[in-house]
Amino acid sequence: MKHLEGKVALVTGATRGIGKGIAISLGEAGAIVYITGRSLDKSISPANNGISGSLEETRAAIEEVGGVCIPVPVDHSNDEQVRSLFDRIQDEQHGQLDLLVNNVFSGVQALSDAQGKPFWDFEPSLWDSCNNVGLRSHYVTSVFAARMMSKRNSGLICTISSWGGLSYIFGAAYGVGKSGCDRLAADMAVELKPYNIASLSLWPGIVGTEHISRLTSQMNENNATNQRNSLLVERYNWETPLLTGRVVAALAADSSVMLRTGRVQIVAELAQHYKLVDQNGDRPVSLRSLRFLMPFALPVLRKYTWLIPDLKVPWLLLLLTTLKSPQI
């Protein structure tokens, strides 16, 4: 269904992974989708650990599902390139921008290299690798997007974050960055609300992106499985990037989305609310569902998940639990 026909969207960091999945779903829903990334044509670079991905490949995938895509090479560490991107959208779309998805992130390889080691074993530049093209880039793109959206008194800004904003996952630099993403979305929502612009933070579950799949294979080969990363290696309750895309498309079409502004939203819970399924027809459970948490604490239960009720742990209780004992 083309329920986003006539809408203009921008997805940052869409050459692969979650960004690519979101862009494809938005194109399938009928939106004009601008996408950014550093590689226009197909390329495999050491910085991406041998994983291919390009703007042209994403455009081809969007056009395959009947969508319209405009790829724009952008280095999100360069503010002037970002400014030029929004100038282009302003000119080509006559000032219309309905949706911004803050997804770009350059820290995957740095985090992979740092996996299993304490933060002090690495140079302080690990922080920049995680949070420059990440948290800071999300702020910069939101500034330019809000300037356009506020003139039309409408819009939606989705900032892709993760469970790492609440509980330890990939280290201190990563966790602070994701916590910052959640707070950025919440505080922007306060200032954007009078202009009818929604801002929310979106938590996908464990998404089987190209990089995550490679990381889990390395963990398995190196026998690096422990309590914190066993869910990755076993691919328990995994999602595909397409599910996040379908959820974003549903949010963009939801006339009551302002009711969600300023809050963290979990992809699996929104999929349940909007009656969406993943690429394989399944629907994963929420990261705060007993059906997810109990098998994590007691691995033997993973064979009997259907016996565990899909009940959500209240946010306050979840916060107190993770502060006492990190979960993942």
Indicate which CATH number applies to the domain containing 149: 3.40.50.720
Count Cβ atoms below 10 Å from residue 257 Cβ, excluding itself. 16
The answer to whether position 258 is within a domain reads yes
Among residues 168, 174, 195, 236, which one is catalytic? 174
pLDDT at 320: 63
pLDDT in tens, the chain (328 residues): 689 999 999 999 999 899 999 999 999 999 999 999 988 876 545 445 556 679 999 999 999 999 999 999 999 999 999 999 999 999 999 999 999 999 999 877 777 777 778 888 888 888 898 899 999 999 999 999 999 999 999 999 999 999 888 878 888 888 999 999 999 999 999 999 999 999 999 999 887 566 665 666 555 555 555 544 555 555 666 788 999 999 999 999 999 999 999 999 999 999 999 999 988 888 888 888 888 877 777 777 777 777 888 888 877 776 666 554 444 4
pLDDT at 208: 59
pTM: 0.86
Q: Strand locations in the chain, DSSP E?
A: 8-11, 32-37, 68-73, 99-102, 155-160, 197-203, 206-207, 238-239, 264-266
Give the angle 167-175-239 at the CA atoms, nearest 5°. Answer: 70
The answer to whether position 44 is within a domain reads yes
Cα distance between residue 184 and residue 174, in whole Å: 15
The answer to whether position 253 is within a domain reads yes
- Residue among 115, 160, 163 at smallest CA distance from 292: 163
The answer to whether position 123 is within a domain reads yes
Residue 211, domain extent: 8-285
Give the angle 168-172-175 at the CA atoms, nearest 5°. Answer: 55
- Number of structural domains in the chain: 1
The answer to whether position 303 is within a domain reads no
Contacts of 12 (CB under 8 A, 6+ apart): 19, 35, 36, 74, 76, 100, 101, 102, 103, 104, 137, 141
The phi, psi pair for 172, rounded to 5°, reads: -65, -45
Whether the CB-CB separation of 78 and 40 falls below 8 Å is answered with no
The answer to whether position 86 is within a domain reads yes
Count Cβ atoms below 10 Å from residue 158 Cβ, excluding itself. 26
The answer to whether position 3 is within a domain reads no
Decide if 174 is catalytic: yes
Whether the CB-CB separation of 33 and 23 falls below 8 Å is answered with yes
